[in-house]
Structure 1
Amino acid sequence: MLNGAIGERINDNCNMHNESFIMNCDPFNEMLYCIEHDEDVELSILIDQCRDLDSILCSFDKVMSPKKFGEPQVVFNTALSSKFSFRVYEILLAMIFTTEEISKYPELLPNVTLGYEIYDSCTTVAGALEGAMRLLTGQRMTIPNYHCQTISSPVAVIGESYSVTSIPMARLLGLYRFPQISYAATVMGLSDKRQFPSFLRTIPSDLFQAIAIAHLVLYFGWTWVGVMSDSSDYGLQGSHKVKEELVKAGACIAFFETISGLYSEIRIQHISKIIQTSSVNVIVIYATEVNLYPVMEVIAMNNVTGKVWIASDGWAQFYLFSKTYFWRTLEGTLGFLVRKGDIPGFRQYIYNLSPFNNPDDIFLKHFWEIVFDCNLQVLNNIFKTNENLTKESKLCAGDETLEGNSLDFFKLTDLRNTYNVYNAMYSIAHALHDMISCRHGEGPFHNGTCTAIHDFQPWQLIDL
């Protein structure tokens, strides 16, 4: 998913005056992308562009990008997945939009401009840890307790998206008290400051969702309930809290089943049979969409109907469950979602995107060709033709516009985790603002001292 970190500028290497990087999950390539972007303080971001239900594989195509102001060209790689993730791209654009927006308000960060580095975790623990180590080390070769940053020193990380990857990252970054702000990791255990001293988030802990689910069940007077979860920390911690609250209120648990993390046909059939034969009509499921899907597919195939399903946010809005195949089974489902918010100006920012005006965006061309089903020939054929285009695809005219397009590629009226990203970025900006505004004698450090914006350690952001 997307991860980021902020750091102060040290010098101007990479054959550019200032830059931001987009890196991906290829273990053999270090730098993929340089965008010219003036910065005093740098924000680094990790993305999981390769992640999808269908086990998307990353493909890396070497391309050339002309640099501005007549400078020599730079070789970089693009990470284009076989199935483009609009959700991930929306979050990436929100991060860039917020960085640019913050830089427009000098009263927030006077004489300081944010920059960013973007890494791809591919939604794997190894990828997330490698990205975190690169941020800490400042080098392609990751060496614990060693730091040699030739550009900017990151001072905060935005991410990771999922709890399963955020937890190992938080353990690593916590050793250095390196600030980490997740916009989507909800596992209750991450609130333990003894284990994760530098982990923060802009999304509520599952503690609140679990209690809310229990209160919903009790509100309707349902006292005979089944509970299911997956075997992740998200599922186990959340479902056990729901069970605890229900039992405390006098409800009875008909069954408590756990979906195996590894696909097991025997286990799936066992769970399906329990649901079929049980007299319970209300079932709480605390699981992620990927783990639940094969189980729910079998349940639907067995024509299970007449149940009230209570969905956690891990699967409540999963698009595959809206297929007609699941209608009879999932009719009457009640789900919980992360609250949504508004990002002023973001909609127009999206509408103004164009590969002709934004040639540095390596994902925009792929996105553009999918949306308009055309072949984009820009920058002297720098980019390869998208092989996923239909035979009827035509050349892009260049005057296409995203505004008014009927394709629901972004949910601009339903910004949830994207809104959390927006808040995460601003939380860092306000922490830096507090550092700039600190008055000696009234500061948070020893004897009321302050620290300088161009000479501070990442952990000092947490103590502000």
Structure 2
Amino acid sequence: MVHGVGEFWGKVQADMLDTCWKHLTPFLWLSILLLSKDVECPVCGLREAILPPDYDQKGDVIIGGILLLYSSGNSFLPTFTFRPKPSRSTTLVKPNLRHILAFIFAIDEINRRADILPNITLGCTVYDSCARQWHAVQHTLRLISGPGKIVPNYNCYKESKLAGIVGHKMPSTSIAIASVAGLYRYPQLTYGIQSSVPSDKNKFPSLHHTFPSSNSQYRAVIELLKHFGWTWVGIVSSNDESSQWSNLELQEALSQNGICVEFKYIVKDRRDKYENSRMLQLWEVLASSISKVIILNNNLIFPEFLDKIYVEGKISKVLILPFNFPYGVIPLLLLTLNGSLIFHLHKVAIPGLKDFLLSANPKKYPKLRMLVNLWKYEIASQEIVSKTTKNLGALEQFYFDMENFRETFQVYSTVYSLAHALHEKNSHKTNKSEAKSGLSWRPWKLNYYLKNIHFQTLGGEEVFFNEDRKSVKFDILNFVMWPNRTKQTTKVGYYLQNGDRYGVYINNSAILWDPYFTQTPTSVCSESCRPGYHKVPMEVIHRCCYTCAPCIEGEVTNDTDMERCLRCPEDSWSNAGKDNCVPRPTEFLSFDEVLGVCLLIIALLVFFLNWVVVGVFFRHKNTAVVKANNQNVSFILLLSLSLSFLCSLLFIGRPTKMSCLLRQVIFGVIFTISVSSVLAKTVTVILAFSAIKPNWTFKRWIKRHFSISLLILCSSGQFVICVFWLIFSPPFPEQNTQTEVGKIISQCNEGSVTAFYAVIGYMGCLAVLSFFIAFLARKLPDTFNEAQYITFSMLVFCSVWISFIPAYLSTKGKYMVAVEVFSILASSAGLLGCIFIPKCYIILLRPELNTRSKLVTKRKLKRTAT
């Protein structure tokens, strides 16, 4: 009965210490541990009042070790349909045997060397933490107090001294050790993954790390995710404090790099009646998630949990395993991990360690209790008769990978680090006898030497405890479980950090994914936006979920998953797919296109017609028709019309600086001369009839000078406007990218719009005045009265240019220029046709009417009638 109560109380203590350790101070821990009398290790099954060391070796100076040696699991390699229920008889203790043997190997190697700690023998005392924080605290107190019962603040070592503690692999257990060892400033060297929690030197001043910082580890994971384009992941972690801190840091790092976490599931380190329901809950979370990548951010406390998940059904996910995940300890879990990617320390060489491991047996190390247990279960199960004559070479490499010295090197190097620190400390002592005897022992002084330690192992590897180490290298392994239950771990890449440069280098073709995946898996919340589209965030909490929207005209995306479209340069435009900027086509009224050719032909035809009229008038210059209509002004008008037809050609072709300066000015001056000539002819007709009156004073003066003077006067006003235009705001060529989408319009900027419309307006005023005067004189009696023809020609001229203004303002690009060219040709042709074609008709087809007698006769008849 008493025994039953004691057993019950022991289990209560174990559960209480297991769940509440992180809320207890070291002094409260100490009180509970001193009351503990009979507690069972939940892994190795030992039940003693005082757990003995797993290995003990005498020496002048003791290096303590609290290692992770045991983890429970099933000894059977299962099939897909059969999974035996675990029991004490079928449970195999699978040790991290290499770690404790590497620890012993380092001690023996240092003792044999003459250059490190001469005349001083190193010893060791190694405990197993059983993956429990409260066990680690208990063993730490035993190491500090010495052999026997725990006596706080007393050192019971008689012949040797404790130099420091090596351990632990798990951050949570490292914190528990540091909380006690730090009170006495005993150096503590961890050999496992580093968390930001124990990196605080204010809280843990005597804690040192051989493992790269957590920032390097997170960066390595992020670079791997970015390499494959995985932006939608899940995280499964344990519920210890360091894992939670690690989760926060990992999530922040993922978020800063544009990677979203779909879910975060925390596995509780408890074995109770709710275990099956939590297992089912985790399976449902994994099965319902759309992310194909799961990051296992844990501290080695729930591999069996994932083992049981497999019973519910195969879940095809890519697992990214942390540096300390025990992927080789659970056979069933190996099927779950098929195709996963594992981060591990860079593989190094430890000369002589492999032969040392293969030669180990209970006869050689009878005090190594775990080696004795291993022989008891493994060698016996393999029906080997002589248990003590065999060695580890007879065991299956599945459990004891003798070629893998990654974590093993961390244990090896921590022992060497303490030895080098002791050597440096003793080298600074003046009294050699004190150095040999270890008098005035001050182990906390080793922290100073450890902080600056830097040495090279026999294998050529550098070891130092610089938190800001500049060079980090991790191997990336691909774990494969073949159908015949054999495993293969292949290096498929590595992560390299050198200073501020870092990245992953992966051979994609070397990776064997889970058979469920027919190609490299993708893990995104939304499908990638192809070039030409950009991401539009959805109204959800994750920015990794989005829709794809096409870019607008003039903007492109030339890569996948771009968050915004890029504006094309001014001289470029987006192509049809919106994925590239192409040069904009330049548009202007060219001689190579149909519209330009048509206008050129029309201009040349009317120019040729104009010179035909000039030739007719010149040949018949002495006839009555030519003389009766102000011969000099007629030739000036014909010459200006000829130039106006040619000036239209300045508007066709690529605009240049010279063409832009000349075309509007020449057009304005020439057209003003034409209109002024028409005005002069009109006024001359009216004054001619006035001159018939007797004794009119200005008769002779008007006949000789008036028409030319009027022409010069009217043209001078336009000339002055054009001079001011060219001086103060001249036209210039420009590339217009705003008027038409996707085109560059090569055009002439008129400089001053006011000056341009002033030129047009001035011509318009002269034309209206000519029309008004000609309209009044249209019925004057004369055989060759031009007033009627001038009236009609000015009506055509004004109609063309009144229509020009809205047409010019409503068109763009080359069509705007074409409108102006057409207006020039139409108005000039109207003047030519309406004024001179009727006269050519009389000269060429009715020569009988082109006589002075006919002119005089008709004048007399009209005077008689009036």
Which bin holds the TM-score, normalised by the shorter protein?
A: 0.7 to 0.9
Q: Secondary structure at the match of 2:131?
A: coil
CA distance in 2, matches of 1:295, 1:50: 18
Q: Which moved more, 1:336-345 or 1:399-408?
A: 399-408
| Superposition pairs of residues 262-301 of structure 1, within 5 angstroms | 262=270, 264-291=275-302, 293-295=304-306, 297-298=308-309, 301=312
Q: Secondary structure at the match of 2:319?
A: strand
8 Å CA contact retained: 1:225, 1:284? yes
Cα deviation for residue 356 of structure 1 reads 4.2
User: For residue 355 of structure 2, what is the aligned residue in structure 1?
Assistant: 348
User: For residue 311 of structure 1, what is the aligned residue in structure 2?
Assistant: 321
8 Å CA contact retained: 2:99, 2:408? yes
User: For residue 438 of structure 1, what is the aligned residue in structure 2?
Assistant: 428
| Superposition pairs of residues 168-317 of structure 1, within 5 angstroms | 168-262=176-270, 264-291=275-302, 293-295=304-306, 297-298=308-309, 301-305=312-316, 307-315=317-325, 317=327
8 Å CA contact retained: 1:86, 1:410? no
| Matching residue's letter, 2:302 | N
Distance of aligned partners of 1:243 and 1:179 in 2 relative to their CA distance in 1, 3 Å threshold: same
Q: Which moved more, 1:406-415 or 1:263-272?
A: 263-272
8 Å CA contact retained: 1:137, 1:146? yes
Distance of aligned partners of 1:115 and 1:222 in 2 relative to their CA distance in 1, 3 Å threshold: same
Distance of aligned partners of 1:124 and 1:274 in 2 relative to their CA distance in 1, 3 Å threshold: closer
Distance of aligned partners of 1:288 and 1:431 in 2 relative to their CA distance in 1, 3 Å threshold: closer
Cα deviation for residue 174 of structure 1 reads 0.8
Q: Percent identity?
A: 27
CA distance in 1, matches of 2:286, 2:90: 37
User: For residue 68 of structure 1, what is the aligned residue in structure 2?
Assistant: none
CA distance in 1, matches of 2:61, 2:220: 40
Q: Secondary structure at the match of 2:411?
A: helix
Where in structure 2 are there 5+ consecutive unaligned residues?
A: 1-44, 76-88, 450-866
Distance of aligned partners of 1:87 and 1:34 in 2 relative to their CA distance in 1, 3 Å threshold: closer
CA distance in 2, matches of 1:87, 1:33: 12
Q: Which moved more, 1:247-256 or 1:270-279?
A: 270-279
Cα deviation for residue 98 of structure 1 reads 0.9
| Superposition pairs of residues 263-412 of structure 1, within 5 angstroms | 264-291=275-302, 293-295=304-306, 297-298=308-309, 301-305=312-316, 307-315=317-325, 317-320=327-330, 326=336, 330-373=337-380, 389=381, 393=383, 395-396=385-386, 400=390, 402-403=392-393, 407-412=397-402
- Residue number among 49, 74, 77 corresponding to 1:28 in the alignment: 49
Q: Tell me if 1:88 matches 2:96.
A: yes
TM-score in terms of structure 1 length: 0.72
User: For residue 444 of structure 2, what is the aligned residue in structure 1?
Assistant: 459
8 Å CA contact retained: 2:239, 2:268? yes
CA distance in 1, matches of 2:283, 2:56: 51
Q: Tell me if 1:44 matches 2:64.
A: yes
Provide, for residues 39-91 of structure 1, a one-character-per-residue CA deviation record: whole Å limited to 9, x for no partner.
32222233555542469xxxxxxxxxxxxxxxxxxxxxxxxx98564533322
Distance of aligned partners of 1:90 and 1:283 in 2 relative to their CA distance in 1, 3 Å threshold: closer
Provide, for residues 97-135 of structure 1, a one-character-per-residue CA deviation record: whole Å limited to 9, x for no partner.
110100111111111111112334333222211211122
Distance of aligned partners of 1:216 and 1:354 in 2 relative to their CA distance in 1, 3 Å threshold: closer
Cα deviation for residue 406 of structure 1 reads 5.2
CA distance in 1, matches of 2:284, 2:154: 54
Provide, for residues 189-219 of structure 1, a one-character-per-residue CA deviation record: whole Å limited to 9, x for no partner.
1111111111112223433222211221122
User: For residue 443 of structure 1, what is the aligned residue in structure 2?
Assistant: none
Distance of aligned partners of 1:207 and 1:268 in 2 relative to their CA distance in 1, 3 Å threshold: farther
User: For residue 140 of structure 1, what is the aligned residue in structure 2?
Assistant: 148
Provide, for residues 395-435 of structure 1, a one-character-per-residue CA deviation record: whole Å limited to 9, x for no partner.
31865455476554421101222111100010011101111
User: For residue 409 of structure 2, what is the aligned residue in structure 1?
Assistant: 419
Q: Which moved more, 1:347-356 or 1:316-325?
A: 316-325
Q: Which moved more, 1:343-352 or 1:265-274?
A: 265-274
CA distance in 2, matches of 1:163, 1:248: 24
Q: Secondary structure at the match of 1:189?
A: coil
Cα deviation for residue 248 of structure 1 reads 1.0
| Matching residue's letter, 1:253 | V
Distance of aligned partners of 1:196 and 1:289 in 2 relative to their CA distance in 1, 3 Å threshold: closer
User: For residue 97 of structure 1, what is the aligned residue in structure 2?
Assistant: 105
Where in structure 1 are there 5+ consecutive unaligned residues?
A: 1-23, 56-80, 374-388, 441-450
CA distance in 2, matches of 1:130, 1:124: 10
CA RMSD in angstroms, aligned pairs only: 3.4
TM-score in terms of structure 2 length: 0.41
CA distance in 2, matches of 1:277, 1:33: 45
8 Å CA contact retained: 1:49, 1:85? no
Q: Tell me if 1:149 matches 2:157.
A: yes
Q: How many residues align?
A: 385
Q: Secondary structure at the match of 1:244?
A: helix
Q: Which moved more, 1:212-221 or 1:362-371?
A: 362-371
Q: Secondary structure at the match of 1:243?
A: helix
8 Å CA contact retained: 2:237, 2:297? yes
CA distance in 2, matches of 1:50, 1:304: 28
8 Å CA contact retained: 1:25, 1:121? no
